[in-house]
Amino acid sequence: RRLIADGGALSSGPGELDVASIVLGNVALTRHEFHVMLQRMQTEVPQHDVRFGILGTFRGLISGESLAGWWCTNYPTVVRGEADATAVGQSMLAQGFLRFMGRRSLFQSRSNAYYQWKRPALDFQSDDDTADVSDDEPLGNRQALLGRAVSYERARREADEASKIYRTSVLRAEVVRTGLEEQLTNYLDCMEVWELNRLMHAKSTLAEYARIAKRPVAAELAIGDRLEVYEESVKPPQDIQWGIEAYGTGRFTPHPILFRPHALSPAEFQIFGVPLDEQLLVSHKPIPLLPAKALSLIAKRAREMSPEDRYAIWTSRVLLRNIHELRNSVNRGPRVTLSMLREYDLPVVANVLMLYLLELPLPLCPEELHGPLRALYSARCEKSSVESLQAVRALLEGISYAHIATMQALFSTLREIAGSDESDARSEFVRAVCKRLGPVVMRAKEIV
Q: Exposed (0-12), middle (13-18) or buried (19+): which is 30, by Cβ within 10 Å?
A: middle
pLDDT tens digit string along 92-133? 888 888 988 877 778 888 888 889 888 888 888 765 554 444
Q: Which residues pair with 57 in a beta bridge?
A: 51
Residue 134 pLDDT > 60, yes or no? no
Q: What is the pLDDT of residue 438?
A: 87
| 139 pLDDT higher than 60 | no
Query: Could you count the other beta carbons within 10 Å of the beta carbon of residue 235?
Result: 12
Q: Does the pLDDT value for residue 377 go beyond 80? A: no
What secondary structure letter does DSSP report for 25?
T
Selection from 23-32, 206-215, 343-352, 424-433 with the highest mean pLDDT: 343-352
Give the C-alpha separation, 42 to 50, whole Å.
Answer: 17
Query: Does the structure show a pLDDT above 80 at 292?
Result: yes
Query: Which residues neighbour 56 within 8 Å (Cβ) at sequence distance 6 or greater?
Result: none
Amino acid in the structure at residue 47: Q
Amino acid 326: pLDDT: 93
Q: What pLDDT, on the 0 to 100 scale, is given for residue 109? A: 85
| Integer Cα distance of 407 and 442 in angstroms | 11
Strand partners of residue 365 = 442
Tell me if residue 172 falls in helix, strand or coil: helix
* Long-range CB contact pairs, 337-343, < 8 A, 24+: 337/293, 338/293, 338/296, 338/297, 341/293, 341/294, 341/297, 342/297
The arithmetic mean of pLDDT across residues 335-347, rounded, is 90
| Per-residue model confidence as pLDDT tens digits over 233-276 | 889 988 888 888 888 776 778 889 888 888 788 888 889 999 99
Q: What is the pLDDT of residue 186?
A: 93
Q: Provide the pLDDT confidence category of residue 448 given band limits of 50, 70 and 90.
A: very low
**Local structure of 114: helix, strand or coil:** strand
Are 8 and 17 in contact by the 8 Å Cβ rule? The answer is no
Q: What angle do CA 332, 444, 278 make, to 5 degrees?
A: 35
Return the pLDDT at 54. 73
C-alpha–C-alpha distance, residues 311 and 432, integer Å: 9
How buried is 85 (Cβ within 10 angstroms: 0-12 exposed, 13-18 middle, 19+ buried)? buried
Q: How confident is the model at residue 446 (pLDDT cuts 50, 70, 90)?
A: low
User: Which of these, 182, 371, 165, lies nearest to 259 by C-alpha position?
Assistant: 165
pTM of the model: 0.56
What does the pLDDT average to over 170-199? 93
Write the single-letter amino acid at 222.
A
Confidence at residue 137, expressed as pLDDT on a 0 to 100 scale: 46
- Percent share of the chain, pLDDT over 90: 26
Residue 135 CA to residue 131 CA, distance in Å, equals 9
Burial code (b: 16+ CB inside 10 Å, e: under 16) for 367-406 equals eebeeeeeebeeeeeeeeeeebeebeeebeeeeeebbebb
Which residues, including other chains, have CB under 8 Å from residue 301's CB and lie 6 or more apart? Answer: 346
What is the mean pLDDT of the segment spanning 305-315?
91
At 18, the pLDDT band (50, 70, 90 cuts) reads very low
CB neighbours of residue 417 within 10 Å: 20
What mean pLDDT value characterizes the chain?
82
pLDDT tens-digit profile of 58-81? 888 999 899 989 989 888 888 888
**In percent, how much of the chain has pLDDT > 70?**
86
Q: What is the pLDDT of residue 3?
A: 30
Q: Edge-to-edge strands of the sheet including 21-24?
A: 2-4, 9-11, 21-24, 27-30
At residue 176 the predicted structure's pLDDT band, cuts being 50, 70 and 90, is: very high
Instruction: Using the predicted structure, report yes or no on whether residue 333 has a pLDDT greater than 90.
Output: no
CB 311 within 8 A of CB 425: yes
Residue 17 has pLDDT above 70, yes or no: no
Q: Identify the band that residue 350 occupies on the pLDDT scale cut at 50, 70 and 90.
A: very high
Whether residue 395 is predicted with pLDDT greater than 90 in this model: the reply is no
Asked if pLDDT for residue 171 goes beyond 50, the answer is yes
38 and 121 Cβ atoms separated by less than 8 Å? yes
Which of the four pLDDT bands, split at 50, 70 and 90, describes residue 149? low
* CA proximity to 310, closest of 183, 395, 179, 421: 421
